[in-house]
Amino acid sequence: MPVMNRMSHDPVTIKKVKVRERMRSDPITVHVHDPVEESARVMMSHKIGRAAAGEVS
């Protein structure tokens, strides 16, 4: 399966992919109060190119 950034240019492929197919059951997270450097370290160690930010309510 192509990676998400490659898929963004192909509308046909995007329509066929379900969100659950791209999600992890054990998401990689950092705490909202962690330094940005820690977030960058975690992202690099897991080869993550983008991150979503938000707080759990």
Residue 52 lies in a domain: no
On average, the pLDDT of the chain sits at: 80
pLDDT score of 26 more than 70: yes
Under a CB-based contact definition with an 8 Å cutoff, are residues 1 and 10 in contact? Answer: no
The domain in which residue 21 lies consists of: 4-45
Please give the pLDDT value at position 6: 52
Residue 24 lies in a domain: yes
Span 3-17, average pLDDT: 63
Residue 30 lies in a domain: yes
Report how far residue 22's alpha carbon sits from residue 28's, in angstroms, rounded to the nearest whole number.
14
Span 28-41, average pLDDT: 93
Residue 38 lies in a domain: yes
Q: How many domains does the chain have?
A: 1
Residue 55 lies in a domain: no
Please give the pLDDT value at position 20: 85
| Tens of pLDDT, residues 35-47 | 999 999 999 999 9
